[in-house]
Amino acid sequence: MNYEKKLKQIRHYMAGLLAVWLFCIHSAPVFADRAFNDIEHSYAADAIEAMAAQGYVTGYQDGSFRPLHFISRQEWASIFAKTLKRTSNNRGVTSFRDVSPWALPYVQALQEESITKGISDQLFGAKHNMTRQDMAVWYARYFGVTEDTRSAGISSFVDQSDISDYAQTSVWLMERLELIEGDTNHYFHPKESVRRQDATLVAYRIWLGGDGLRERAKRLLGSLGDGTATMPQTTSQQESKKIEVDVTPEISQQPVNSEVEEPKRHRPSPDSPASPVTPPEPKPEPSVTPLGPKPKPPVIPVDPPDHSSDFLVDEVVIKAQELVNQPETYPSYQLSFQLYNKGRPVSIPAASVTSVTYTFSDGLGIFDEQGKIAHPENIPVADSFIPVEMKVTVAKPYQVLTAQAKLIVKGKTPPAEPPNVIRSVYLATYTISEAATLDPAAWNMSYVFHNANGEVIAPGWLPSDLILRVEDSRGIFDEDGKIANLHLIPVVNSVIPLKITVESPSQGVLFTSDAELTVVPGERKKQYFAVSIMLQGSATTVDQIKQARQLLMDHFGPNIKVTWAMQNGFVFLETNRPQLKQVLEFVDQYGDEVGILAGYPNQTEPGLPVWEVKMDEWLYMYRYNAFNELHQSGTMGSPSVFESMDTDQYRKYLPKSLTSFTVNPEQTQWLEDHYRITSAMGWSATQYNVNGMYGEGSPLMPYWSHKDNPIVPAQGLADNSGTVFMNSVTIDPIGSRYTKDSSRWTLHPLDPYVTETDAAPQLYIVQQYLDNPYQRINTVNYLSIILDINALANTHNMAPIWENFVNHFPVDRKVEIVGVDGLKQIYESVAGSNNDHTEFTLMFRGSGIKTAMDSNNSPANLRYLWTENASQRIILSKEDGDATWSIIDFTDYTRKPVPKMDYNLDGHTDVSYVTGRNFKLCPTAPLTADEIQRVKDRLKDIYFAEEVNYQ
C-alpha cells in the first residue's frame, strides 16, 4: 500500500477540519465543535463534516445543514458527481429544461455514464424528492448494474415485495455491499424520500470504500452469471444525444417542498456552481431508520462447521467500526473482519481454523497484530482517521488477501438525553394562501418538535414551560404566529422567511430556527358585478340595447343578468315599443330584470306626492306600451294596474328595483308598499341630496337601510326599512373631499371629465378591487355600475373606454354579472334579514389620473383602507413615505337619535351623519377616546396592526 500517500491525505483532511473548527469558534460559539450548527445530534454528523471538508456537501448561510430535510434529484446528482469527481461540459448531452444551471454539469456527467436519466425527454424531475430505492439504483448503475443485468439478486428486506422491479437487483447489491440497511424491523421503505443526513452518510461510505467497492461489486454481479458484471462506459458524444428515460414510476409529480430553485437565494454569488441547499422541512412522517444506521459492534460471524478439505475465500473486508476516544473502552476494543466468497459472507470452518492466519497493522502504531489497542497514547484527536491494513493468509488452497480501511475517531459519547428534550423545531405548516383567498380566523401555524435523535416529540411530552416566539421581519405575523397584517401577505409563489425561537427554562433550551412559508393560490370567494342599464327618453335604440348586452356576453359569457332601468320618459313613448319588446325578450331568454329609473327627486320636486304621481304614471304607461292587452283607461293610480300584472304570466315583467341618483326613506317605503320593490341602487353613492346639500353615507357594503334615513344601516329589526341599499359605481366609492388635493379616489369608466380613450386607470382600480386582500372576510364582494348606453354612443370617448374596460376585465376571477335585485337576493341569502354580521373592507391605491375637472384627482402615491360594518365606517389613508396611517373619516352609525330625512334643510344640518373628521362640519375635530378605541377594535377585527396616528 502507498502508506505515504495515505498519510498525506490525512494531513490535508486534518488541516481542513482545523479550518472548519476555527471558523466555528468565531461564528457560532454554541456549536464550536461542529462545522454546522444543527448536526450535533445527527447520527451522520461525522460523515457530514468529513464530506463538507472535502467540499462535497454544503449548508445554508446561517450555518445550518438541515439534516432532516429531504433531498431532491438534482441536489443528489450534485453530491454524487462531486464525490466521484465527475463533471461535464459536453454540450452534446441532452439538456433538461427543469435542471437549475448550477446542477446541470453534474446531471450531465451522470447522464453520460448512464447512471441517471430523465423522467421524459425534456424533464429530469430535478426538484422531485429522491427516493430510497432510486438512490440504490443510481449507485448500482455506477457499480455496473445495467438494464441487461440478470435480476437474480433479491434483498432480504421484509418489504422486499414493495421494491419496484427495476430496483430489485440494485437494492440487493447495495445491501450486499453493506451500504444500506433497513430499520430496526428490517424494513427498507423503498419509496420513501431520502433525507440529507441519510444521503450524505451513504455517499461518505462509498467515498471511503473507493475502487475496492467497485471491484467487490463486480465480483458480486459476476456471481449472478451471464457475464453481467461490466462496468459502465462513458458514452460517446454521438451516443449521448439519444434520449433515454428513467424507468422510475415512483417519482412523484409533486415538486419537493417548493424547493429553492437556485443557490443564489442562500449564497452571495448567484453564479456559483456550489451544490444547493435543501428547502424547508416537509410534513413530518413516522420515524424511519435511515439508509445507514449507526454502526453495530463488530462481530466475526460464525457459521456451522464446514468439514470440507478446502476453504474457499476470495475477499476480506475490515469491519472498521468507529473508535470513541474514551479510555475506559480501550481494553475491550477489537478490530474485526469479514471473509467473502463470490460476494457471499463466509466463516472459517473448524477444520480450517489452523490454516488461516491474519495480522492487522496501522501507520500510527496503535493496534497490535490481533487488532487490539496496544498504544492508546497514539490515538489522534476526535474527527481524525486511522488508516488500518490487514493481511489474511489461507494455507489450502494457498492465497493471501489484503484489505484497507479508514477508522474514524470520535469524541467521548455524551450521556443520552431524555426523549422529550427539544433540540429542533420545524413548521408543519408549509404554505399560506394569498390574502385574497385566505380566511385568517381559520389559519394557524403548527409546529413539530424533535429530540436529539430526530424523533418527533408527542404534544403530551412537551415541557409545560415551553415558550415559542415567531419573528417576522415583514410584519405579517405577530410573535404568537397569528396573522397581524393580512394585507401584507405577498403574491403567489413568494416565500415568507421566519425565525422561530424555542425556550424552555426547565430543559435549559433556548435556540432559534429558520422557517419558510410559501404563498400559494387558494379558493376565491365569489364576486359579483351588478349592472343597471339606463333607458331614457326616445334616444335609445334597439341596436344600442342589443349591443350593450352583447358586449357583456362576449366577455363574461351568456349566463349574465342585468337590470334595464327605465325612466318615465322612456315608458311613456309609443315609439319605444320595439325597445320595450327587446327588453322583455331578454327577460324571457336570460332572466334579466326590469327596474325603475328616477333621479334627483328631492332637489327638483316639492315632496312625496309628486313622487307618488310619477311612479303611478310609470307603471300605467309601462303596461300600456309593453302589455297593451292589459290596458284599462282611467286606472292610473289604481291598485288594479299592479294587480293586473301580478299573475303567473306577467309577474316576471314587473319592476324589481329602483335605480336612482338619491332617495328618501318615504320613496323606498312607497315602492315597497305598492310595488313590493325592496332593492335600491344609488348613482351618487346613496347620497342624500336636498337644497344643494349632500350627505355621504355611502357604505360600500349592501345593507338593510334605516327606516328614517337610507344612508344609515339599520341597527335592528325595529328600525329596518325592509329595503336593501347598494352603492352604485363601487369602482368609484365616493367623491371624497377628506384628503387635500384628492377628491376622486377612483374613476368611473364613463366619467365625462376623463379625456383618455382607454380604461387603464379604471382597470387598475378594478384589479385592486378583485384582488382585495380582505375579500374572504367580507359578507359580499361586489362592484356595481349604472350605464347610460345612449350617452355611450354619443360621447366621443365614452364608448371606447367602456368597450376597453369590458374587454380587458380580468377573466381569471370568479365574477358573476347580476342585476340590482339579484345582488339584493345574494346579500339576503348570506346576511339574513339584518345587518348584525355584515361587514366590508377594501384596501386600494389611487390610479394616478387627474381629470379635466381639477377636483377629480386620484393620486397614485395615496393608499386607502376603507372598512365598515353595521356600527361604523372607518377610512384611513397613507401617503408613500409616511410612517403612520391617518384617520380621515370615522362615521358612527349607532348615534341616537338618527336624524330623519327632511325636505327643508340648511348648510348647518348634519345630514351626512358623520362624527369626528367630517369634511363639511368638523374637518379637524379630534376623535374622542371612545371613538379611538372603536377604531382600534375594528382594525384588530380585520387583521390590521400597522401604526396609526390617532391625533
> Is residue 7 exposed (0-12), middle (13-18) or buried (19+ Cβ within 10 Å)?
middle
Instruction: Report, as an integer, the average pLDDT of 773-788.
Output: 90
Helices marked H in 402-541 — which ranges? none
Instruction: Report, as an integer, the average pLDDT of 211-228.
Output: 72
Q: Which residue has the higher pLDDT, 264 or 460?
A: 460
Instruction: Report, as an integer, the average pLDDT of 229-238.
Output: 37
Residue 696 has pLDDT above 70, yes or no: no
Q: Report the pLDDT value the prediction gives residue 436, as an integer from 0 to 100.
A: 94
Please give the mean pLDDT across all residues of the chain: 78
- Estimate to the nearest angstrom the gap between the alpha carbon of 245 and the chain centroid: 31
Q: Which three cell numbers stand for residue 618?
A: 310609470
Q: Report the pLDDT value the prediction gives residue 698, as an integer from 0 to 100.
A: 54
Of the pLDDT bands very low, low, confident and very high (cuts 50, 70, 90), residue 32 is very low
SS3 833: coil
Q: Which residue has the higher pLDDT, 135 or 908?
A: 135
Contact present, 680 and 655 (Cβ < 8 Å): no
- Partnered with residue 816 across adjacent β-strands are 528
The tens digit of pLDDT for each residue in 589-645 reads 999 999 999 875 554 455 678 889 999 999 999 999 999 999 999 999 999 999 999
d(CA 279, CA 271): 19
Instruction: Report, as an integer, the average pLDDT of 180-186.
Output: 79
This prediction's pTM: 0.61
Residue with cell string 334595464: 564
Range of 344-358, 399-413, 471-485, 878-892 with top mean pLDDT: 471-485
Q: Which residue has the higher pLDDT, 170 or 283?
A: 170
Phi, psi of 8 (to 5 degrees): -65, -40
Phi, psi of 853 (to 5 degrees): -90, 115
Q: Report the pLDDT value the prediction gives residue 58, as an integer from 0 to 100.
A: 86
Contact present, 271 and 142 (Cβ < 8 Å): no
Instruction: Report, as an integer, the average pLDDT of 130-142.
Output: 89
Helices marked H in 833-916 — which ranges? none
Of the pLDDT bands very low, low, confident and very high (cuts 50, 70, 90), residue 704 is very high
Lowest mean pLDDT among 200-214, 661-675, 845-859: 845-859
Q: How far apart are the first and last CA of the chain?
A: 85
* CA distances for 150 relative to 153, 176, 188, 341, angstroms: 8, 16, 22, 20
Contact present, 939 and 933 (Cβ < 8 Å): no
Lowest mean pLDDT among 174-183, 632-641, 745-754, 784-793: 745-754
Q: Which three cell numbers stand for residue 62?
A: 446561517
Q: Report the pLDDT value the prediction gives residue 319, as an integer from 0 to 100.
A: 79
Q: Are strands 693-696 and 687-690 parallel, antiparallel or unpaired?
A: antiparallel
d(CA 758, CA 369): 92
Instruction: Report, as an integer, the average pLDDT of 49-59.
Output: 87
Q: Report the pLDDT value the prediction gives residue 355, as an integer from 0 to 100.
A: 78
Of residues 232, 296, 213, 302, the one with CA closest to residue 86: 232
The tens digit of pLDDT for each residue in 649-685 reads 999 999 999 988 767 788 889 999 999 999 998 765 4
Of residues 578, 582, 595, the one with CA closest to residue 549: 582
Contact present, 671 and 800 (Cβ < 8 Å): no
Range of 318-322, 362-366, 821-825, 906-910 with top mean pLDDT: 821-825
Q: Which three cell numbers stand for residue 796?
A: 366621443
Q: Report the pLDDT value the prediction gives residue 28, as an integer from 0 to 100.
A: 31
Instruction: Report, as an integer, the average pLDDT of 190-218.
Output: 85
Contact present, 279 and 126 (Cβ < 8 Å): no
Q: Which residue has the higher pLDDT, 939 or 222?
A: 939
What is residue 335's DSSP assignment?
-
Count of residues for the chain?
951
d(CA 485, CA 478): 9
